[in-house]
Each structure stands twice: as C-alpha cells, then as structure tokens.
Amino acid sequence: MPLVLNVNGAKHEVDVDPATPLLWVIRDSLGLTGTKFSCGIAQCGACTLHVDGQPVRSCSFPVSLAVGKTIKTIEGVSSDGNHPLQRAWKELDAPQCGYCQSGMIMSALALLERKPNPTDADIDAAVTNACRCSSYHRVRKAIHLAADLMKAEA
C-alpha cells in the first residue's frame, strides 16, 4: 500500500518497502537529491533533514516513521536560496566541497529555531555533522551571522 509523505509542504504518495530508510525515498522516489548519503549508519549527519522540526539522520530512519509527519529537506529551507542561514553561508563562503553542507544547514536551522541566540557551546552541542574539508570555522561564524540577520529582520 502506498505511503503518504508530507515533504516541504507537498503531499507525495510513494510505493516502497516501509523499512526503506527515509533518505532513499527522498532521493530516489521523490528526486530530492540535496540530502546526501555518506556513512549509512547515522554517524556523519550528511543525510540530516527535519521530521516535525527535529533534525533526523535519514539514512537510518525508516520511511514508515515519517508517515503523518512534516518533513523538511534542504530544498524546503527557502524558495530562493536566501534564507538568513543561506545568506550567511554565502557571505562567509562557508562550504568547500559542499557535500556535507545540506546536513550542516539543516542542523543549524533546527538549532536556530530552538535557540535564536546560540552560544558557541550551543553550536558545539547541536551541530554534530562531520565535514571532511573542515568548513567548521566558517560554519560557526555563519550561524552567528544568521542569528543576527534573523533578529534584524524579526
């Protein structure tokens, strides 16, 4: 029986094994390839997206658990690529290879939704995504800048 998923504000019917990790349904059934595969065991966070506003490592999250919930992926962060986080990321030229950055931004977004003025310690605790190029230095600055931009616009 098809499952109904609510992704970035739109409903989708997918006919997949309910045990399939949400990542593969998002990438292959729905064609949203911004969410990345890297470790497959919920370690690195490249596959981070939101389920009911919570950051989830979708490579290890069965699609069946997402039914009836609200899913947000990197493609749903803004319609024009200009969410304050995205603007801050561009201003600081944060990514290098960029492969982990969708997950990094989704973790940062969940943090800012919970804590609009995060401390460095808050960032350390919430943004646990792995970046092999080490964009960390600029990512930290970009999270602080995004917080400032969001406050200025509030």
Shortest distance in whole angstroms from residue 150 CB to other proteins: 16
Compute, in degrees rounded to 10, the torsion defined by CA atoms 123, 40, 134, 148: -30
In the bound state with other proteins, the residue whose beta carbon lies nearer, of 4 and 133, is 133
Shortest distance in whole angstroms from residue 76 CB to other proteins: 9
- Angle (CA) 21-2-53 rounded to 5° is 50
Q: Which two tokens stand for residue 36?
A: 């990345």
| Residue 135 phi, psi (nearest 5) | -90, 5
In the bound state with other proteins, the residue whose beta carbon lies nearer, of 10 and 41, is 41
In the bound state with other proteins, the residue whose beta carbon lies nearer, of 33 and 70, is 33
| Residue 128 phi, psi (nearest 5) | -105, 25
Shortest distance in whole angstroms from residue 147 CB to other proteins: 15
Q: Which residue ranges make up the site for other proteins (CB under 8 A)?
A: 17, 20-21, 24, 28, 31-41, 43-44, 46, 73-75, 77-78, 81, 85-86, 89-90, 93-102, 105, 120, 123-125, 127-140
Residues 14 and 5 sit within 8 Å (Cβ to Cβ)? yes
